[in-house]
Structure 1
Amino acid sequence: MVTRSKNNIHKPKRAFSVSKHPLHENLEPSTVREAMKYDHWRQAISAEFDALIRNGTWSLVPPPKSHNIVDCKWIFRVKRKSNGSIEKYKARLVAKGFTQCAGVDFHETFAPVVHPQTIKP
């Protein structure tokens, strides 16, 4: 069997370092606590939160005692132009869907799939 490693094909290794120094503006924070220290990340969080409210994505309700609470996490990305300069700072609030149980937390799933019967030659 021919594998990638036998052909000397490897993914580049990403080095992660821990430091007491402040986060460089080009780096992406891994926690909200890190992001909230910088004005540009606070603005990105605010813009995402405002968009979620404006679009009616969710509403705040009291948690039911008999159901699982699906947690969420902030994801941060630096979007760049083709020349490498920073275009914008992007923050996304994503649900941790892996904590859901079928039949308890949801009953249907949505997948945008085109069925072969709908395609006409």
Structure 2
Amino acid sequence: MWHFVLLIACAVAIYLSCEWFVNAVEWLGHRLKVGRMAVGTVLAAFGTALPESVVTLVAVTSGGGEAGKDIGVGAAMGGPLALATVAYAVTGIALLMTRRSRARARILAGAGGSSA
């Protein structure tokens, strides 16, 4: 039971943190007089990548010799590589689904037009 309560508490904390982060990024963009598109693509991306970057920096600078460097290189290469792999897969699937639905719509439009 304790684990479930802790899970719910952590989920609420993450949700509230995300709300605070989004509001802070929007406020910062407004203060810097940056457009909404730039706020979403630059500031939000920087903020979400910052924890991973800090882990890499700490592992390289204060890690135990060779092991710290290995952790830093793994974090620097692994995160973006995994993210890019997922992003490319989602983009490819979305493009294929869009192409198929457009082709299906053209076929149905052509069949409907010739039978009338």
Scaled to the shorter chain, the TM-score interval is: under 0.3
Q: Point out which structure has higher relative CO (alpha carbons under 8 A, 6+ apart).
A: 1
Q: TM-score, normalised by structure 1?
A: 0.24
Over alpha carbons, which structure has the higher Rg?
A: 2
Q: Larger strand proportion, structure 1 or 2?
A: 1
Task: Name whichever structure is richer in helix by fraction.
Answer: 2
